[in-house]
Structure formats: C-alpha cells, structure tokens
Amino acid sequence: MYIDGQWAKAKGTFEVLNPATGEKIADVPDGGRDDAATAIAAADRAFPAWSNLTAYQRSAYLYRAYQIMMERKEDLARTMTEEQGKPLRAARNEVQYGADFLLWYAEEAKRVYGETIPAPRADQRFIVLHQPVGVVAAVTPWNYPVSMITRKVAPALAAGCTIVLKPAEATPLCAIEIFKILAEAEIPAGVANLVTAADPKPIGEEFVSNPAVRKITFTGSTGVGKMLAQGAAEQMKRISLELGGHAPFLVFDDANPQYAAKGAALVKFLNTGQACISPNRIFVHKSIVEPFTEEFISRVTRLRGGNGMEDGISIGPLVNEAAVDKVERQVNDAVEKGAKIGCGGHRLIDDGLDKGHFFAPTVLTGVTPDMLIYREETFGPVAPIIAFDDDETAITMANDTHYGLAAYVYTQNISRAHRMFERLRFGIVGINDINPTGAAAPFGGMKESGLGREGGREGIAEYLETKLGGFSV
C-alpha cells in the first residue's frame, strides 16, 4: 500500500491470480478499515498545502507523471495482460488512453476559470470561484485497471483535491505500478494514497462514514453504486458513479451491413465483452439482418481465444469462474427459450485453456425480450442479434432498459442520425462510431448507469465546489 508518501504493509496478504492460467502472480497487502482511515487522515493533512499550490504547479506534477507513464508503457501493458488477461495489443492501447488523462488534466488544471456577474446594485459586485471539494475516496474496477485510475486521480489532483484509492481486488498490481509513477513524479506525501484489499466492504464503509471524505467516485456495479450513494447521503458527500450498461447497437436499413457488422464485432468483443459500453443488444433492420448476421458470424469465428501474451489472440479470459457461469447461464436460457447459436456457445477448454476462465465468442439469433440476455448486462463475449421492422420499434426496444450509458447507431441518413442521437436515452451515442470516448470527451450515463461525468472539462468540475463572493463597494 502507499500511504502518506510511504510504501506500507498490512496485517495480511492476498493472492493475485492470472485469469488465463490460474497461476499465482503475487501476494499483495490485504488492507483493512484501519488502513483506509490512516490513508484518509494523511490525505486530509495534505489537502491544505496541495490545494494552495498554483494550478501551474499541480500541472507540472501531472505532466511529469505522464512522461514517466509513457516511458513505462510496455511494462505496464505486460503487467495488465498478466493480471487482467486482455491481449497485449489492447493493454498497450489502454496504457496510452490512461496516460492521456494525465496529460489532459495537466492542461485542464490551468483552465478552472471563475467569473464576475453583474449585480443588481451599483455598490455590489459578484465574483464566482471554483475550489476543490477536499478529500476524495475512489474505487476502481478490474476491467480497465489503468485508465480507470488515471481518469479519477488526474482530475482530482488537477482540481486541488487529495485522494485515497481502493483498486479492484482482482487487479491491484496495475494500481501499485501507477502509484510508483506518482511517487517518482514526487507528488507530495499524502496527496495520493493507495489501499489494496481482498474485501472491499470495510474500505467502502470507511469511505462512506469518515467525515473527512467529501467526495466518493466509484466505477462498478449498479448495486454497489446504489449502496454507496445511500451511504454518502448521510453526510451529504458529493458522489459520482459510473455503473452498468446495457448498450443497444442499432443498424438501419440504409446502412452497409458488412461495414456495420465489422464495427459491431470490433466493439462487442473488445476486452472479451467486459466493458460497460459493450453492445449487449444488436438490433438490425429485418431487410438486412441476413447479410449482417452472415458477415458478423464470419468475423466472430475468426477470433482466437487464449493467453493475451501470445500473438494473434483477440479473446482473453473472463475475470473469474463466476463470470463464466453467468455467461453460460444466459446462453443456456436463451437457447431453452428458442434462440439459435450462430457460433460459439461453450467454454474453451482445449490446449490448456481449461486452467483459465475462457468462453468462446458467441453469436445468438432469434433473441426475444423474455430471455435473460435481453434484460441483463452480460459482461462477456456473447452477441444477441434481434431483427426490427421500423425506426419507432427500434427506439422503443433500445430504450427499454434501466440502464443508459452507451448506444450505437449505423445509418447513412443524417436526419435519422440526429433523431437517434436526441431520442436515445443514453449518455454516450456513437453514430457510425464504435469508439466515442477520449480524455477530452465527457463519459457517463443516465438512469441507473450512474451520476456525473468523467473526462473532458466536465470531469474536473466533479471535484470542484462553486463559491460566490458578494462584495459591497
């Protein structure tokens, strides 16, 4: 653990396993609630000095961290592949994406502007300042174990906040490497703190109950997010949540079915389907559903599962056996209710893959609303294809979910594109675009997909309070 500028041990340790092989990679400190409290106290002590630095000084620290991270890009990517399982090429892309947040917020730190407001009285002046909220408690997920850290740490530090991070128990090694970078960048003691733990519950309880924590930022399941929001309400803590998704992918009759199938396959099986913006329901107009499905299955059958360190691997392992069980349950339920398997539909156990958590990339056709996969987020390599008749039906089916994170639309009609962008109840909509993300762009969802935004200028606003000064002159 990294607390108050020092590397610290805990009373015990827990194992980190390679999801592709089942082998132990390392033992990591198993922190508890007391460790979280110690880290929060350190962050609280460091806050006055850090928040009083100029924006240019804080920017310089973040820029130095960016430079170090880029120097260690390959080592970070290999750590990620070994610990999380994604193919090495994808891991390299994520390290770059994660570094982008350090660079973006190194600049955005200098763009926190105030304003003057015309007052109703001649002897009065209004001035608005934006100031850091205070100590931030952050919880990050395992599926993007580097970029989800920098996406929270960078804007928090840029704003002048101090932070305590609890990374996912499945991927603490990536977090440790990121904090080595922050330490080498000489970010002052107590400003950025790391507590690793096998059991997140006690850490979360301390984050929620400790009055020194003024903001919680969490990426993970909707269920846990709701619990944190309820707890934060007791002390009126600021909270931002990036939760589950159930993204629709709409392909209209004027789209090129082969081009749309290529895009759908690329984004659906990114990170083995373990992404909150992964398409979970692929809606295709009935007039082109056959050529789309043919091309889609052709592409999916060429995907190769295995250890992400090997060349040519595009499908890594799922995070654990419970994730495999969930995917298998959804596929079996769909088949029992009439869906057809276009390809895949089974665990991968040949050539030593039985030692890891692998499931074959799968395509289901004939999916209907009564099936689990139509309603539940999958977080795995299964793509259900559903035919639709008209635009209104497509919009209704797409919006028929409690989630509202991401949606995708393929159409060549500019009017339809605008209508879909406006009417789909999702925080992110990709129009003929399967990667509508970037450090400069706001990321977040509606409905039960969360609160607040990360990235862009909106991302730093989440860590700032607005203060009004009224002056009599």
The CATH number of residue 92's host domain is 3.40.605.10
Q: What is the pLDDT of residue 12?
A: 97
Does a structural domain hold residue 440?
A: no
Residues 176 and 82 grouped into a single domain: yes
What is the β-pairing status of strands 2-3 and 6-7? antiparallel
Q: What is the pLDDT of residue 279?
A: 97
* Beta strands per DSSP E along 332-405: 340-343, 362-365, 382-388
Helix (H) or strand (E) segment spanning residue 65:
helix 55-71
| Joined tokens for residue 88 | 């090495």
Does a structural domain hold residue 71?
A: yes
Active site residues: 242, 276
Q: What is the pLDDT of residue 429?
A: 98
Residues 228 and 328 grouped into a single domain: no
* Residue among 384, 425, 395, 409 nearest 252 (CA): 409
Give the residues of the chain that fall short of pLDDT 70: none
Scanning 286-379, the segments in alpha helix (DSSP H) are 289-300, 321-336, 372-375
Does a structural domain hold residue 441?
A: no
Residues 182 and 67 grouped into a single domain: yes
Helix (H) or strand (E) segment spanning residue 406:
strand 406-410
CA angle 104–52–175, rounded 5-degree value = 45
Residues 236 and 251 grouped into a single domain: no
| Joined tokens for residue 113 | 């502007």
| Joined tokens for residue 334 | 């769909």
| Joined tokens for residue 259 | 């081009």
Instruction: Identify how many contiguous H helices and E strands the chain contains and give both numbers.
Output: 15, 20
Give the pLDDT confidence of 251-290 residue by residue, as tens digits: 999 999 999 999 999 999 999 999 999 999 999 999 999 9
Q: What is the pLDDT of residue 208?
A: 98
* Residue among 198, 218, 194 nearest 208 (CA): 218
Residues 417 and 342 grouped into a single domain: yes
Does a structural domain hold residue 463?
A: yes
Helix (H, G, I), strand (E, B) or coil at 332: helix
Helix (H) or strand (E) segment spanning residue 116:
strand 115-117
Q: What is the pLDDT of residue 60?
A: 98
Residue 117 CB contacts under 8 Å (≥ 6 apart), including other chains:
126, 127, 128
Does a structural domain hold residue 436?
A: no
User: One-letter amino acid identity for 283?
Assistant: F
Expressed in angstroms, the distance from the first to the final Cα of the chain is 52
Residues 237 and 252 grouped into a single domain: no
Residue 291 CB contacts under 8 Å (≥ 6 apart), including other chains:
257, 258
Does a structural domain hold residue 442?
A: no
Distance CA 288, CA 204 (A): 48
Residues 36 and 127 grouped into a single domain: yes
Number of domains in the chain: 2
Distance CA 329, CA 343 (A): 16
Does a structural domain hold residue 85?
A: yes
Residues 144 and 277 grouped into a single domain: no
Distance CA 174, CA 403 (A): 29
Q: What is the pLDDT of residue 364?
A: 98
Residues 319 and 238 grouped into a single domain: no
Residues 321 and 403 grouped into a single domain: yes
DSSP secondary structure letter of residue 187: P
Residues 265 and 158 grouped into a single domain: no
Helix (H) or strand (E) segment spanning residue 222:
helix 222-233
What is the β-pairing status of strands 192-194 and 213-219? unpaired
Residue 386 to residues 201, 219, 275, 405, Cα–Cα distance (Å): 39, 29, 21, 20
Q: What is the pLDDT of residue 26?
A: 97
Give the pLDDT confidence of 317-328 residue by residue, as tens digits: 999 999 999 999
Residue 62 belongs to what domain range?
2-243+447-472
Q: What is the pLDDT of residue 432?
A: 98
Instruction: Provide the whole-model pTM.
Output: 0.96
Q: What is the pLDDT of residue 418?
A: 98
Roughly what angle, to the nearest 10 degrees, separates helices 33-52 and 200-209? Answer: 50
Residues 398 and 461 grouped into a single domain: no
Does a structural domain hold residue 439?
A: no
In this structure, what CATH number is given to the domain that contains residue 267?
3.40.309.10
